Amino acid sequence: MRIIVLPEDWISRIAAGEVVERPAAVVKELVENALDAGAREISVRVEGSGSSSIRVSDDGDGIAAEDLALALERHSTSKLRDEADLFRIATLGFRGEALPSIASVSKLEIVSRTRQEQAGARLRVEGGKKGRAAAAGSPAGTTVEVRDLFFNTPARRKFLKSPATELSHICDVVNRMALAYAEVHFRLDHGARTLSDYVAAARPRDRLQQVLGPEIAGGLAPFGASSGKMTVNGFLSTAPSSYSTSRYLHMYVNRRFVRDRILTHAVLQGYETLLMKGRYPAVVLFLEIPYEEVDVNVHPAKYEVRFRRQSEVHEAVAEAIRSSLRAEAKAPGRTEILDREQAGFVVQEAALPYAAWPHKESRPPAEGYPGGTGSKGETVPKGFFSSLDIVGQILGCYLVCGSPRGMALIDQHAAHERIAFERMRRQLDQGEVERQNLLIPQILERGSPSSTTSALPWSVSGRAGSRSRRSRRSFPRGITGSSCAGWL
């Protein structure tokens, strides 16, 4: 095959494929343009999943009538002036690619007026084919309407998810920008419904409440630190609030939302052992760093950045989180001194090594420790843990206990796991393991494929909902799943 030069409109569509992945990407680019233009009011109106229509209006600087056609040309931007600017980018946009890319895969109309001009101008572009700019009445600012997204790239349309999913991506985009620009009024309408209306907030904390809701925002504490020319600030969840996904991790570099492994790692490291494995905190982190210290030109959707001194950034972020969590833990009000009797804490456990309970009546409370019901007054063998005196609780997850040998700190999560494990082990010894069938059986394979020919099948299961049913084979030690099968 000979080499050919691709036609210009193919090139535009290939470029658009990287920039405009889905309707939310259009919203992101248009809102970024509005923010770069200094807008104080940004309104996003979406129809359907966004592929039928997205309209973004702002009250920013606007585009001069004679520049309007240029704004739709590839590599045309007002945000870079000389080559050195490329290495100290202060704006969200810089490549002059977003508008032409969007226009090459949609039917786009832009209307804009600067404050100095009396009349505005309008331009329509369909699948990259530009019409003529014409005078038009317009308030100061810019409105871009994008209709029939991907009308000329049906393959791309097929990759779109359900309207609800696409809409939720759009909400996420607006929310992320809103968190970083509290002083800007954001509004998102879907058809006749207003999904978000975040009036300009006097304090960043007010914006947190608007975007994350009172429950999550209420659990966040402010933090901040500087290191050299860097500053790290924002809000973080103090233990024990944690989440099973990283969706409440919002990280910004010079107010640009980024997904960055270094920052994520630094945040998690800052939490040290306060988080269980697989749990994530809620953190809104703003890193302010000299523009020349970060390269933002590394990702087509501008979601990733590269730091010149990544270990310094990592250390600054981890230390900011670590020290603020420590200060938070020491702050008055965080340590709850519990009245032992009032709280009803009674530590009960078998003397080590975890012998079977001598009498059925003296089993530990069903919910285990701490604060199980009906546990007072029962006679159980004394062990180290039962001799402890609970003084208080710190960070909502550690028990501070006094003992004849000194002070003991107990990780409540770990203690609870251990108690659950011991309970299962006891039930196992007594052949009374509580079981419930899995809806979809899990097959566990053991040994190499060649050994399976001589392997014996085993399974442990019970009727759904049946309790304490004796299995024909004993439950393999160490396996605490509720229904298992495999080969031995």
Ligand X SMILES: Nc1ncnc2c1ncn2[C@@H]1O[C@H](COP(=O)(O)OP(=O)(O)OP(=O)(O)O)[C@@H](O)[C@H]1O
CA distance 239 to 64: 52
CB contact set of 80 (below 8 Å; sequence gap of 6+): 86, 89, 94
Q: Using the rule CB under 6 A, which residue among 12, 20, 28, 97 binds ligand X?
A: 97
- Segment interacting with ligand X (CB under 6 A) among 94-102, 252-260, 349-357, 445-453: 94-102
Q: Is 142 in the site for Mg ion (CB under 5 A)?
A: no
Q: Is 98 in the site for Mg ion (CB under 5 A)?
A: yes
Q: Is 108 in the site for ligand X (CB under 6 A)?
A: no
Q: Is 96 in the site for ligand X (CB under 6 A)?
A: yes
Q: Is 59 in the site for ligand X (CB under 6 A)?
A: no
The residue whose Cβ lies closest to ligand X is 93
The least CB distance from residue 233 to ligand X, in Å, is: 26
CA distance 369 to 319: 34
CA distance 320 to 246: 19
Q: Is 60 in the site for ligand X (CB under 6 A)?
A: yes
Q: Give the residue with the Cβ less far from ligand X, 73 or 432.
A: 73
Q: Using the rule CB under 6 A, which residue among 71, 105, 268, 400 binds ligand X?
A: 71
The least CB distance from residue 44 to Mg ion, in Å, is: 15
Instruction: Choose the one of Mg ion, ligand X, none that binds residue 96, judging by a C-beta under 5 to 8 angstroms depending on kind.
Output: ligand X
Is residue 137 exposed (0-12), middle (13-18) or buried (19+ Cβ within 10 Å)?
exposed
Tokens read off for 86: 């490329």
Q: Give the residue with the Cβ less far from ligand X, 61 or 109.
A: 61
CA distance 427 to 481: 14
Taken in order 196, 200, 204, 206, the sign of the CA dihedral is negative
Q: Is 63 in the site for ligand X (CB under 6 A)?
A: yes
What is the pattern of x (binds ligand X, CB under 6 A) and - over residues 139-158? Answer: ---x----------------
Distances (CA, A) of 420 to 83, 366, 412, 416, 423: 63, 10, 12, 6, 5
Residue carrying the six token digits 């501070």: 400
**Beta bridge partners of residue 443, listed in sequence order:** 485
Q: Give the residue with the Cβ less far from ligand X, 129 or 203.
A: 129
- Segment interacting with Mg ion (CB under 5 A) among 9-17, 87-95, 277-285, 433-441: 87-95
DSSP state of 233: E
Separation of first and last alpha carbons in the chain: 57
Tokens read off for 224: 């901040």
Residue pair 219/241 in contact (Cβ under 8 Å)? The answer is yes
Q: Give the residue with the Cβ less far from Mg ion, 33 or 106.
A: 33
CA distance 278 to 445: 25
Q: Is 93 in the site for Mg ion (CB under 5 A)?
A: yes
The least CB distance from residue 230 to ligand X, in Å, is: 24
The least CB distance from residue 409 to Mg ion, in Å, is: 52
- Judged by the rule CB under 6 A, the positions of this chain that interact with ligand X are 29, 33-34, 37, 58, 60-63, 71, 76-79, 93-99, 142
Residues that bind Mg ion (CB under 5 A): 33, 93, 98
